[in-house]
A and B are shown apart, each in its own frame.
Chain A
Amino acid sequence: MILKINGLVKNFKNESVLNDINYEFVSGNIYGILGRNGSGKSVLLKIISGLYKQDQGKVLFDEINYNDSNDFPKDVGISIEDPSFLNDLTGFDNLELLASIQNKIGKDDINKILDIVNLTEEKDKKYKKYSLGMKQKLSLAQAFMENPKVILLDEPFNGIDRISVDKIKNYLINLKKKDVLIIITTHIKDDIAGLCDVLLELEDGKIKNYEGSKE
Protein backbone atom coordinates (compact mmCIF):
# COMPACT_ATOMS: atom_id res chain seq x y z
CA MET A 1 0.00 0.00 0.00
CA ILE A 2 1.31 3.39 -0.95
CA LEU A 3 -0.38 6.58 0.17
CA LYS A 4 0.64 9.34 -2.18
CA ILE A 5 -0.05 12.98 -1.47
CA ASN A 6 0.34 15.28 -4.40
CA GLY A 7 0.38 19.07 -4.36
CA LEU A 8 -2.11 19.29 -1.52
CA VAL A 9 -3.43 22.78 -0.76
CA LYS A 10 -6.01 23.76 1.83
CA ASN A 11 -7.18 27.23 2.74
CA PHE A 12 -9.81 28.37 5.20
CA LYS A 13 -11.37 31.67 4.27
CA ASN A 14 -8.40 33.98 4.64
CA GLU A 15 -5.95 31.51 6.13
CA SER A 16 -3.67 29.20 4.22
CA VAL A 17 -3.18 26.02 6.26
CA LEU A 18 -1.65 23.48 3.90
CA ASN A 19 0.42 24.76 1.07
CA ASP A 20 1.66 22.26 -1.49
CA ILE A 21 2.17 19.05 0.48
CA ASN A 22 3.93 16.25 -1.37
CA TYR A 23 4.80 12.95 0.19
CA GLU A 24 4.68 9.22 -0.30
CA PHE A 25 3.85 7.07 2.69
CA VAL A 26 4.73 3.41 2.30
CA SER A 27 3.14 0.59 4.28
CA GLY A 28 5.16 -1.27 6.88
CA ASN A 29 6.34 1.97 8.41
CA ILE A 30 5.31 4.23 11.23
CA TYR A 31 5.46 7.91 10.33
CA GLY A 32 5.47 10.64 12.92
CA ILE A 33 4.40 14.13 11.93
CA LEU A 34 5.49 16.85 14.33
CA GLY A 35 4.13 20.35 14.31
CA ARG A 36 3.23 23.11 16.69
CA ASN A 37 -0.38 23.93 17.57
CA GLY A 38 -2.25 25.18 14.59
CA SER A 39 0.27 23.95 12.05
CA GLY A 40 -2.42 21.92 10.29
CA LYS A 41 -1.79 18.37 11.50
CA SER A 42 -5.42 17.64 12.20
CA VAL A 43 -6.53 19.22 8.95
CA LEU A 44 -4.04 17.07 7.02
CA LEU A 45 -5.35 13.88 8.61
CA LYS A 46 -8.95 14.93 8.00
CA ILE A 47 -8.20 15.47 4.34
CA ILE A 48 -6.43 12.13 4.04
CA SER A 49 -9.44 10.43 5.61
CA GLY A 50 -11.86 12.22 3.32
CA LEU A 51 -13.59 14.24 6.04
CA TYR A 52 -12.36 17.54 4.65
CA LYS A 53 -11.80 18.34 1.03
CA GLN A 54 -8.60 19.81 -0.32
CA ASP A 55 -8.67 22.89 -2.51
CA GLN A 56 -6.01 21.49 -4.80
CA GLY A 57 -3.98 18.34 -5.15
CA LYS A 58 -4.65 14.67 -4.72
CA VAL A 59 -4.68 11.99 -2.07
CA LEU A 60 -4.12 8.58 -3.65
CA PHE A 61 -4.45 5.26 -1.86
CA ASP A 62 -2.69 2.87 -4.22
CA GLU A 63 -3.63 5.28 -6.99
CA ILE A 64 -7.28 5.38 -5.93
CA ASN A 65 -8.73 8.79 -5.23
CA TYR A 66 -11.69 8.66 -2.81
CA ASN A 67 -11.79 12.29 -1.96
CA ASP A 68 -13.41 13.72 -5.05
CA SER A 69 -16.58 11.69 -4.82
CA ASN A 70 -17.36 12.35 -1.16
CA ASP A 71 -16.37 8.75 -0.58
CA PHE A 72 -14.25 7.48 2.28
CA PRO A 73 -11.00 5.55 1.94
CA LYS A 74 -11.53 1.87 2.55
CA ASP A 75 -9.58 0.00 5.23
CA VAL A 76 -8.46 3.13 7.02
CA GLY A 77 -8.75 3.46 10.79
CA ILE A 78 -8.82 6.98 12.09
CA SER A 79 -8.66 8.54 15.52
CA ILE A 80 -9.29 12.24 15.24
CA GLU A 81 -9.05 14.94 17.88
CA ASP A 82 -11.85 15.34 20.41
CA PRO A 83 -13.28 11.88 20.10
CA SER A 84 -16.98 11.79 20.62
CA PHE A 85 -19.34 8.91 21.10
CA LEU A 86 -22.92 8.56 22.23
CA ASN A 87 -23.17 9.54 25.88
CA ASP A 88 -25.89 7.13 26.89
CA LEU A 89 -24.25 4.02 25.49
CA THR A 90 -21.47 2.05 27.12
CA GLY A 91 -18.04 2.03 25.56
CA PHE A 92 -18.65 -1.45 24.23
CA ASP A 93 -22.05 -0.60 22.78
CA ASN A 94 -20.61 2.44 21.08
CA LEU A 95 -17.99 0.30 19.36
CA GLU A 96 -20.60 -2.27 18.43
CA LEU A 97 -22.78 0.42 16.89
CA LEU A 98 -19.90 1.66 14.75
CA ALA A 99 -18.90 -1.87 13.81
CA SER A 100 -22.45 -2.58 12.68
CA ILE A 101 -22.06 -0.09 9.82
CA GLN A 102 -19.59 -2.24 7.94
CA ASN A 103 -20.29 -5.49 9.67
CA LYS A 104 -16.73 -6.73 9.32
CA ILE A 105 -16.11 -7.78 12.91
CA GLY A 106 -17.95 -9.33 15.83
CA LYS A 107 -18.12 -9.02 19.60
CA ASP A 108 -14.91 -11.02 20.10
CA ASP A 109 -12.89 -8.66 17.95
CA ILE A 110 -14.24 -5.71 19.88
CA ASN A 111 -13.30 -7.30 23.19
CA LYS A 112 -9.83 -8.04 21.88
CA ILE A 113 -9.29 -4.41 20.93
CA LEU A 114 -10.67 -3.17 24.26
CA ASP A 115 -8.05 -5.32 25.93
CA ILE A 116 -5.27 -3.86 23.79
CA VAL A 117 -6.14 -0.29 24.79
CA ASN A 118 -6.57 -1.37 28.45
CA LEU A 119 -10.26 -0.51 28.59
CA THR A 120 -11.73 -3.90 29.39
CA GLU A 121 -12.60 -2.97 32.95
CA GLU A 122 -14.56 0.10 31.92
CA LYS A 123 -16.17 -1.25 28.78
CA ASP A 124 -19.63 -1.51 30.37
CA LYS A 125 -19.57 1.98 31.80
CA LYS A 126 -21.64 4.67 30.09
CA TYR A 127 -19.54 6.89 27.85
CA LYS A 128 -20.60 10.02 29.72
CA LYS A 129 -18.89 8.65 32.82
CA TYR A 130 -15.58 8.16 31.02
CA SER A 131 -12.51 10.15 31.98
CA LEU A 132 -10.49 11.99 29.36
CA GLY A 133 -8.01 9.13 29.04
CA MET A 134 -10.74 6.51 28.71
CA LYS A 135 -12.39 8.54 25.97
CA GLN A 136 -9.10 8.69 24.13
CA LYS A 137 -8.64 4.93 24.51
CA LEU A 138 -12.07 4.31 23.08
CA SER A 139 -11.23 6.55 20.16
CA LEU A 140 -8.10 4.48 19.51
CA ALA A 141 -10.09 1.27 19.85
CA GLN A 142 -12.51 2.29 17.12
CA ALA A 143 -9.58 3.18 14.87
CA PHE A 144 -7.90 -0.20 15.41
CA MET A 145 -10.86 -2.51 15.55
CA GLU A 146 -11.70 -3.19 11.93
CA ASN A 147 -8.22 -4.45 10.95
CA PRO A 148 -7.39 -1.42 8.78
CA LYS A 149 -4.45 -1.35 6.38
CA VAL A 150 -3.82 2.31 7.15
CA ILE A 151 -4.07 3.88 10.59
CA LEU A 152 -4.19 7.64 11.14
CA LEU A 153 -3.75 8.83 14.71
CA ASP A 154 -4.12 12.44 15.80
CA GLU A 155 -2.37 13.07 19.12
CA PRO A 156 -3.11 9.46 20.12
CA PHE A 157 -1.56 9.42 23.58
CA ASN A 158 -3.31 12.47 25.02
CA GLY A 159 -4.25 11.75 28.60
CA ILE A 160 -3.36 8.06 28.45
CA ASP A 161 -1.30 6.52 31.27
CA ARG A 162 2.23 5.23 30.69
CA ILE A 163 1.43 1.54 31.01
CA SER A 164 -1.34 1.72 28.47
CA VAL A 165 0.78 3.84 26.13
CA ASP A 166 3.49 1.21 26.14
CA LYS A 167 0.99 -1.52 25.42
CA ILE A 168 -0.51 0.43 22.53
CA LYS A 169 2.94 1.22 21.13
CA ASN A 170 3.82 -2.47 21.15
CA TYR A 171 0.60 -3.18 19.32
CA LEU A 172 1.43 -0.57 16.69
CA ILE A 173 4.90 -2.06 16.18
CA ASN A 174 3.27 -5.44 15.69
CA LEU A 175 0.87 -4.01 13.13
CA LYS A 176 3.75 -2.40 11.30
CA LYS A 177 5.36 -5.79 10.95
CA LYS A 178 2.13 -6.97 9.35
CA ASP A 179 2.60 -4.32 6.69
CA VAL A 180 0.17 -1.75 8.09
CA LEU A 181 0.83 1.91 7.33
CA ILE A 182 0.67 4.08 10.44
CA ILE A 183 0.77 7.86 10.58
CA ILE A 184 0.88 9.62 13.94
CA THR A 185 0.76 13.35 14.57
CA THR A 186 1.78 15.10 17.74
CA HIS A 187 3.26 18.33 18.97
CA ILE A 188 5.32 16.53 21.59
CA LYS A 189 8.30 14.78 20.10
CA ASP A 190 8.96 12.63 23.15
CA ASP A 191 5.52 11.06 22.73
CA ILE A 192 6.58 9.20 19.65
CA ALA A 193 10.34 9.06 19.99
CA GLY A 194 11.60 5.57 19.38
CA LEU A 195 8.32 4.47 17.89
CA CYS A 196 8.52 6.05 14.47
CA ASP A 197 10.59 4.93 11.52
CA VAL A 198 10.34 8.31 9.86
CA LEU A 199 9.92 11.66 11.59
CA LEU A 200 8.43 14.48 9.58
CA GLU A 201 7.67 18.06 10.38
CA LEU A 202 4.73 20.14 9.30
CA GLU A 203 5.69 23.77 9.11
CA ASP A 204 4.33 26.71 7.14
CA GLY A 205 1.95 24.39 5.38
CA LYS A 206 4.69 22.12 4.07
CA ILE A 207 6.00 18.68 5.04
CA LYS A 208 9.69 18.13 5.44
CA ASN A 209 11.95 15.65 7.16
CA TYR A 210 12.44 16.44 10.78
CA GLU A 211 15.86 18.03 11.21
CA GLY A 212 16.83 15.95 14.23
CA SER A 213 15.67 12.66 12.81
CA LYS A 214 18.83 11.89 10.94
CA GLU A 215 21.05 12.09 14.01
Chain B
Amino acid sequence: MKKFLKNNYLVIIIFIICIFLGYFYLFGEFKSTYLNSDDINNAFEMMCQSDEMKTSKECQDYFINGPYEDAERDVLFIFYYLLDSSPLRILSFTMSFLISLVSLKKISTIFNNGQTKLYLTREKYSVFIKKTLLNSLKYIFLFPIIFIILYLGCLWLGKGNFDVSYLIDSSASMIPYQYASLGPWFIVLFTYSLIINVIIYILLGLISLRIVNNYYVSIIISYILFLVMAISGEIFGELIFYECFNIDIHNYLNFIGIFEFSDIPNYYLYTGIRILIIFILTGIIYLLYRNKEKLINYTEKKWEILK
Protein backbone atom coordinates (compact mmCIF):
# COMPACT_ATOMS: atom_id res chain seq x y z
CA MET B 1 0.00 0.00 0.00
CA LYS B 2 2.72 2.42 1.01
CA LYS B 3 4.70 1.39 -2.02
CA PHE B 4 1.67 1.92 -4.24
CA LEU B 5 1.18 5.43 -2.89
CA LYS B 6 4.83 6.23 -3.35
CA ASN B 7 4.97 5.00 -6.92
CA ASN B 8 1.72 6.61 -7.97
CA TYR B 9 1.52 9.82 -6.00
CA LEU B 10 1.39 12.00 -9.11
CA VAL B 11 -1.53 10.03 -10.51
CA ILE B 12 -3.32 10.18 -7.19
CA ILE B 13 -2.82 13.93 -6.83
CA ILE B 14 -4.06 14.63 -10.35
CA PHE B 15 -7.02 12.34 -9.80
CA ILE B 16 -8.06 13.96 -6.53
CA ILE B 17 -7.63 17.52 -7.79
CA CYS B 18 -9.68 16.89 -10.94
CA ILE B 19 -12.48 15.13 -9.10
CA PHE B 20 -12.51 17.83 -6.44
CA LEU B 21 -12.54 20.72 -8.92
CA GLY B 22 -15.22 19.04 -11.00
CA TYR B 23 -17.57 18.29 -8.14
CA PHE B 24 -16.91 21.65 -6.54
CA TYR B 25 -18.02 23.31 -9.74
CA LEU B 26 -21.04 21.08 -10.31
CA PHE B 27 -22.49 21.32 -6.83
CA GLY B 28 -21.33 24.89 -6.28
CA GLU B 29 -21.26 27.39 -9.04
CA PHE B 30 -23.21 25.41 -11.60
CA LYS B 31 -25.97 24.37 -9.27
CA SER B 32 -26.52 27.84 -7.88
CA THR B 33 -26.38 29.54 -11.27
CA TYR B 34 -28.33 27.17 -13.46
CA LEU B 35 -30.43 25.00 -11.21
CA ASN B 36 -31.28 26.68 -7.92
CA SER B 37 -33.80 29.45 -7.80
CA ASP B 38 -32.96 30.45 -4.25
CA ASP B 39 -30.99 33.48 -5.34
CA ILE B 40 -33.72 34.90 -7.50
CA ASN B 41 -36.40 34.08 -4.95
CA ASN B 42 -34.42 35.77 -2.21
CA ALA B 43 -34.02 38.82 -4.40
CA PHE B 44 -37.76 39.03 -4.90
CA GLU B 45 -38.46 38.54 -1.21
CA MET B 46 -36.14 41.41 -0.38
CA MET B 47 -37.42 43.66 -3.10
CA CYS B 48 -41.08 43.09 -2.45
CA GLN B 49 -40.88 43.79 1.27
CA SER B 50 -40.93 47.52 0.83
CA ASP B 51 -44.36 49.08 0.58
CA GLU B 52 -43.74 51.00 -2.60
CA MET B 53 -42.59 47.90 -4.49
CA LYS B 54 -45.30 45.62 -3.22
CA THR B 55 -47.76 46.99 -5.71
CA SER B 56 -45.37 46.82 -8.68
CA LYS B 57 -46.20 44.45 -11.48
CA GLU B 58 -43.16 42.24 -10.83
CA CYS B 59 -44.07 41.70 -7.24
CA GLN B 60 -47.71 41.12 -7.99
CA ASP B 61 -46.72 38.43 -10.48
CA TYR B 62 -44.37 36.97 -7.95
CA PHE B 63 -47.03 36.81 -5.27
CA ILE B 64 -49.54 35.24 -7.62
CA ASN B 65 -47.20 32.64 -9.14
CA GLY B 66 -45.28 31.88 -5.99
CA PRO B 67 -41.52 31.40 -5.78
CA TYR B 68 -39.63 30.16 -8.79
CA GLU B 69 -39.08 26.45 -8.86
CA ASP B 70 -35.65 24.92 -9.32
CA ALA B 71 -34.76 24.56 -12.95
CA GLU B 72 -34.14 21.18 -14.45
CA ARG B 73 -31.38 20.56 -16.91
CA ASP B 74 -30.56 17.40 -18.78
CA VAL B 75 -27.42 15.42 -18.03
CA LEU B 76 -25.58 16.35 -21.21
CA PHE B 77 -26.26 20.03 -20.68
CA ILE B 78 -24.63 19.74 -17.29
CA PHE B 79 -21.75 17.64 -18.59
CA TYR B 80 -21.08 20.18 -21.29
CA TYR B 81 -21.07 23.05 -18.87
CA LEU B 82 -18.56 21.09 -16.84
CA LEU B 83 -16.28 20.75 -19.85
CA ASP B 84 -16.82 24.27 -21.06
CA SER B 85 -17.04 26.47 -17.99
CA SER B 86 -15.52 24.68 -15.03
CA PRO B 87 -11.83 24.98 -14.11
CA LEU B 88 -11.42 21.58 -15.76
CA ARG B 89 -11.74 23.21 -19.18
CA ILE B 90 -8.01 23.94 -19.03
CA LEU B 91 -7.46 20.19 -19.35
CA SER B 92 -8.07 20.54 -23.06
CA PHE B 93 -4.60 22.01 -23.40
CA THR B 94 -2.87 20.80 -20.22
CA MET B 95 -3.76 17.13 -20.45
CA SER B 96 -0.81 16.44 -22.73
CA PHE B 97 1.50 17.87 -20.10
CA LEU B 98 -0.09 15.94 -17.23
CA ILE B 99 -0.02 12.70 -19.18
CA SER B 100 3.71 13.09 -19.89
CA LEU B 101 4.27 13.91 -16.25
CA VAL B 102 2.84 10.59 -15.10
CA SER B 103 3.68 8.31 -18.01
CA LEU B 104 7.36 9.18 -18.52
CA LYS B 105 8.49 8.91 -14.92
CA LYS B 106 9.18 5.21 -14.66
CA ILE B 107 10.67 4.77 -18.13
CA SER B 108 12.84 7.78 -17.62
CA THR B 109 14.23 6.26 -14.42
CA ILE B 110 15.09 3.07 -16.26
CA PHE B 111 16.74 4.91 -19.14
CA ASN B 112 18.52 7.34 -16.95
CA ASN B 113 20.78 5.27 -14.81
CA GLY B 114 22.16 2.51 -16.93
CA GLN B 115 19.65 0.07 -15.50
CA THR B 116 18.91 -0.78 -19.10
CA LYS B 117 22.16 -2.71 -19.51
CA LEU B 118 21.37 -4.92 -16.54
CA TYR B 119 17.98 -5.74 -18.01
CA LEU B 120 19.37 -6.41 -21.44
CA THR B 121 21.73 -9.09 -20.22
CA ARG B 122 18.62 -10.90 -18.98
CA GLU B 123 16.00 -10.42 -21.65
CA LYS B 124 15.68 -9.94 -25.35
CA TYR B 125 15.79 -6.38 -26.56
CA SER B 126 12.44 -6.58 -28.27
CA VAL B 127 10.82 -7.90 -25.11
CA PHE B 128 12.47 -5.28 -22.94
CA ILE B 129 11.60 -2.32 -25.11
CA LYS B 130 8.01 -3.40 -25.66
CA LYS B 131 7.48 -3.98 -21.97
CA THR B 132 9.07 -0.68 -21.04
CA LEU B 133 7.23 1.44 -23.58
CA LEU B 134 3.90 -0.30 -23.09
CA ASN B 135 4.16 0.46 -19.39
CA SER B 136 3.34 4.07 -20.19
CA LEU B 137 0.11 3.07 -21.90
CA LYS B 138 -1.50 2.11 -18.62
CA TYR B 139 -2.10 5.81 -17.99
CA ILE B 140 -4.54 5.90 -20.89
CA PHE B 141 -7.38 5.40 -18.47
CA LEU B 142 -6.59 8.11 -15.94
CA PHE B 143 -8.61 10.91 -17.54
CA PRO B 144 -11.41 8.74 -18.92
CA ILE B 145 -11.98 7.42 -15.40
CA ILE B 146 -11.97 10.94 -13.99
CA PHE B 147 -14.56 12.06 -16.51
CA ILE B 148 -16.75 9.03 -15.98
CA ILE B 149 -16.78 9.74 -12.26
CA LEU B 150 -17.68 13.37 -12.94
CA TYR B 151 -20.33 12.19 -15.36
CA LEU B 152 -21.96 10.31 -12.51
CA GLY B 153 -22.25 13.65 -10.72
CA CYS B 154 -23.94 15.09 -13.80
CA LEU B 155 -26.31 12.13 -13.89
CA TRP B 156 -27.24 12.84 -10.30
CA LEU B 157 -27.70 16.57 -10.80
CA GLY B 158 -29.67 16.04 -14.00
CA LYS B 159 -31.75 13.34 -12.32
CA GLY B 160 -31.01 11.02 -15.20
CA ASN B 161 -32.83 13.25 -17.62
CA PHE B 162 -31.64 12.95 -21.22
CA ASP B 163 -34.30 15.09 -22.82
CA VAL B 164 -31.92 17.23 -24.78
CA SER B 165 -34.36 19.63 -26.41
CA TYR B 166 -33.32 22.45 -24.11
CA LEU B 167 -29.65 21.78 -24.71
CA ILE B 168 -30.15 21.92 -28.42
CA ASP B 169 -32.23 25.09 -28.36
CA SER B 170 -30.15 26.95 -25.87
CA SER B 171 -26.62 26.29 -26.88
CA ALA B 172 -26.55 24.83 -30.30
CA SER B 173 -22.91 25.67 -30.68
CA MET B 174 -21.65 23.31 -28.01
CA ILE B 175 -22.82 19.96 -29.13
CA PRO B 176 -24.55 19.04 -32.39
CA TYR B 177 -27.88 17.30 -32.41
CA GLN B 178 -26.49 14.00 -33.61
CA TYR B 179 -24.29 13.67 -30.54
CA ALA B 180 -26.83 15.05 -28.11
CA SER B 181 -29.41 12.63 -29.41
CA LEU B 182 -27.19 9.75 -28.37
CA GLY B 183 -28.36 10.47 -24.86
CA PRO B 184 -26.64 8.32 -22.26
CA TRP B 185 -24.45 6.80 -24.96
CA PHE B 186 -22.73 10.06 -25.61
CA ILE B 187 -20.32 9.34 -22.75
CA VAL B 188 -19.09 6.25 -24.59
CA LEU B 189 -18.24 8.29 -27.64
CA PHE B 190 -16.68 10.96 -25.48
CA THR B 191 -14.54 8.41 -23.63
CA TYR B 192 -13.46 6.80 -26.87
CA SER B 193 -12.29 10.06 -28.38
CA LEU B 194 -10.62 11.00 -25.12
CA ILE B 195 -8.67 7.74 -25.11
CA ILE B 196 -7.54 8.33 -28.67
CA ASN B 197 -6.28 11.79 -27.79
CA VAL B 198 -4.50 10.49 -24.69
CA ILE B 199 -2.74 7.82 -26.74
CA ILE B 200 -1.40 10.59 -28.96
CA TYR B 201 -0.09 12.43 -25.90
CA ILE B 202 1.61 9.31 -24.60
CA LEU B 203 3.27 8.63 -27.95
CA LEU B 204 4.51 12.21 -28.12
CA GLY B 205 6.01 11.66 -24.67
CA LEU B 206 7.81 8.50 -25.78
CA ILE B 207 9.25 10.36 -28.76
CA SER B 208 10.52 13.18 -26.58
CA LEU B 209 12.05 10.72 -24.13
CA ARG B 210 14.23 9.50 -26.97
CA ILE B 211 15.16 13.07 -27.89
CA VAL B 212 16.51 14.04 -24.52
CA ASN B 213 17.33 11.62 -21.73
CA ASN B 214 16.03 13.71 -18.87
CA TYR B 215 12.63 13.42 -17.22
CA TYR B 216 11.84 17.11 -16.79
CA VAL B 217 13.23 18.28 -20.09
CA SER B 218 11.47 15.48 -21.95
CA ILE B 219 8.14 16.60 -20.45
CA ILE B 220 8.75 20.08 -21.79
CA ILE B 221 9.77 18.71 -25.18
CA SER B 222 6.69 16.54 -25.33
CA TYR B 223 4.56 19.61 -24.67
CA ILE B 224 6.39 21.48 -27.39
CA LEU B 225 5.69 18.57 -29.74
CA PHE B 226 2.04 18.82 -28.75
CA LEU B 227 2.02 22.54 -29.59
CA VAL B 228 3.80 21.83 -32.86
CA MET B 229 1.12 19.29 -33.69
CA ALA B 230 -1.62 21.76 -32.77
CA ILE B 231 -0.09 24.52 -34.86
CA SER B 232 0.51 22.18 -37.79
CA GLY B 233 -3.15 21.19 -37.51
CA GLU B 234 -4.11 24.84 -37.86
CA ILE B 235 -1.77 25.37 -40.76
CA PHE B 236 -2.98 22.27 -42.59
CA GLY B 237 -6.61 23.02 -41.87
CA GLU B 238 -6.57 26.71 -42.71
CA LEU B 239 -3.89 27.16 -45.27
CA ILE B 240 -3.60 23.93 -47.12
CA PHE B 241 -6.98 22.26 -47.07
CA TYR B 242 -9.14 25.36 -46.95
CA GLU B 243 -7.20 27.92 -48.95
CA CYS B 244 -5.87 25.56 -51.57
CA PHE B 245 -8.50 22.86 -51.88
CA ASN B 246 -11.46 24.60 -50.33
CA ILE B 247 -12.07 21.64 -48.03
CA ASP B 248 -13.10 22.79 -44.58
CA ILE B 249 -11.76 20.23 -42.15
CA HIS B 250 -10.22 22.85 -39.94
CA ASN B 251 -12.24 21.75 -36.93
CA TYR B 252 -11.14 18.17 -37.33
CA LEU B 253 -7.54 19.25 -37.03
CA ASN B 254 -8.07 21.22 -33.87
CA PHE B 255 -5.92 19.34 -31.35
CA ILE B 256 -6.40 21.77 -28.51
CA GLY B 257 -10.16 21.90 -28.33
CA ILE B 258 -10.56 18.23 -27.53
CA PHE B 259 -13.84 18.82 -25.71
CA GLU B 260 -15.50 20.62 -28.58
CA PHE B 261 -17.71 18.56 -30.78
CA SER B 262 -19.55 21.55 -32.16
CA ASP B 263 -18.38 21.59 -35.73
CA ILE B 264 -17.42 18.02 -36.31
CA PRO B 265 -20.49 16.35 -37.72
CA ASN B 266 -18.47 13.45 -39.07
CA TYR B 267 -17.19 11.48 -36.12
CA TYR B 268 -15.46 8.89 -38.28
CA LEU B 269 -13.36 11.54 -39.94
CA TYR B 270 -12.49 12.98 -36.52
CA THR B 271 -11.30 9.68 -35.07
CA GLY B 272 -9.89 8.52 -38.40
CA ILE B 273 -7.48 11.45 -38.58
CA ARG B 274 -6.33 10.78 -35.03
CA ILE B 275 -5.89 7.07 -35.57
CA LEU B 276 -3.79 7.88 -38.62
CA ILE B 277 -1.67 10.15 -36.45
CA ILE B 278 -1.31 7.33 -33.91
CA PHE B 279 -0.01 5.06 -36.67
CA ILE B 280 2.47 7.66 -37.85
CA LEU B 281 3.73 8.35 -34.32
CA THR B 282 4.04 4.61 -33.64
CA GLY B 283 6.16 4.32 -36.78
CA ILE B 284 8.41 7.13 -35.59
CA ILE B 285 8.77 5.45 -32.20
CA TYR B 286 9.67 2.19 -33.88
CA LEU B 287 12.42 3.91 -35.86
CA LEU B 288 13.72 5.75 -32.81
CA TYR B 289 13.86 2.71 -30.54
CA ARG B 290 14.72 0.04 -33.06
CA ASN B 291 18.47 -0.04 -32.54
CA LYS B 292 19.65 -1.81 -29.40
CA GLU B 293 23.17 -0.41 -29.34
CA LYS B 294 22.01 3.15 -30.00
CA LEU B 295 19.53 2.95 -27.16
CA ILE B 296 22.18 1.57 -24.79
CA ASN B 297 24.53 4.35 -25.81
CA TYR B 298 21.78 6.85 -25.24
CA THR B 299 21.05 5.58 -21.75
CA GLU B 300 24.73 5.58 -20.83
CA LYS B 301 24.89 9.33 -21.17
CA LYS B 302 22.66 11.63 -19.24
CA TRP B 303 21.50 14.64 -21.16
CA GLU B 304 22.31 12.96 -24.41
CA ILE B 305 20.57 14.61 -27.30
CA LEU B 306 19.22 12.35 -30.04
CA LYS B 307 21.83 10.39 -31.98
By a beta-carbon cutoff of 8 Å, the part of chain A in contact with chain B is 46, 49-53, 70-72, 76-78, 80, 82-87, 98, 101-102, 142, 146
The proximity string for B residues 104-133 relative to A, scoring 1 for CB distances below 8 Å and 0 otherwise, is 000001000111011111111110000000
Residues of B within 8 A of A101 (CB): 119, 122-123
- Rounded to whole angstroms, the CA-CA distance of A146 and B121 in the bound complex is 11
Question: CA–CA, A53 to B125, complex, Å?
Answer: 13
Asked if A85 contacts B113 (CB within 8 A), the reply is yes
Minimum CB distance partner of A12 in chain B: B297
Q: How far is the CA of A15 from the CA of B38 in the complex (A)?
A: 81
Query: Known contacts being A53-B292, A85-B113, A86-B113, is A98 close to B123, with CB within 8 Å?
Result: no
Contact A53–B293 (Cβ < 8 Å): yes
CA distance A86 to B300 in the complex (A): 14
Which residue of chain B has its CB nearest to the CB of A95?
B118
Main secondary structure of the interface of A (DSSP, over half): loop
Residues of A within 8 A of B121 (CB): 49-51, 72, 76-78
- Of A72, A84, A102, which is within 8 A of B120 by CB? A72
Question: Please, which residues of chain B bring their CB within 8 A of the CB of A49?
Answer: 121
Q: Tell me which of A52, A72, A85, A102 contacts B115 (CB under 8 A).
A: A85
The range of chain B's interface size is 10 to 19
B296 at the A interface (CB under 8 A): yes
Complex Cα distance, B165 from A24, in Å, reads 83
B113: chain A residues within 8 A (beta carbon): 84-87
> What are 7 of the A-B contact pairs (CB < 8 Å)?
A53-B292, A76-B121, A78-B121, A82-B114, A83-B114, A84-B115, A86-B109
- A104, chain B: closest CB distance, angstroms: 9
Cα distance, A142 to B120, chains bound together (Å):
13
Which residues on A sit within 8 Å (CB–CB) of B120?
Answer: 50-51, 72
Taking the closest CB of chain A, its distance from the CB of B219, in whole angstroms, is 20
Which residues of chain A are within 8 angstroms of B300 by Cβ–Cβ distance?
82
Closest approach, in angstroms, between the C-beta of B56 and any C-beta of chain A?
72
Are A51 and B122 touching (Cβ within 8 A)? no
Instruction: Verify A51–B115 contact, CB threshold 8 A.
Output: no
Inter-chain contact A70/B118, CB cutoff 8 Å: no
| Chain B hits for A78, CB < 8 A | 121
- Cβ of A38 to closest chain B Cβ, rounded Å: 16
Contact with A along B281-299 (1 / 0, CB 8 A): 0000000000011001000
Query: Which one of B109, B126, B296 lies within 8 Å of A51 (CB-CB)?
Result: B296
Q: How far is the CB of B28 from chain A (nearest CB, A)?
A: 40
The chain B residue with its CB closest to the CB of A98 is: B118
Q: Min CB distance, B289 to chain A, in Å? A: 12
**A-B contact sample (14 more), CB < 8 A, given A70-B292, A72-B121, A102-B123:** A50-B120, A51-B296, A52-B293, A71-B124, A72-B120, A72-B124, A84-B113, A84-B114, A84-B118, A85-B113, A85-B115, A85-B118, A87-B113, A101-B122
- CB pair B124–A51 under 8 Å, yes or no, is no
Assess A98 versus B122: contact at CB under 8 Å? Given A51-B117, A84-B114: yes
CB distance from B138 to the nearest CB of A (A): 18
Whose C-beta in chain B lies nearest to the C-beta of A73? Answer: B121
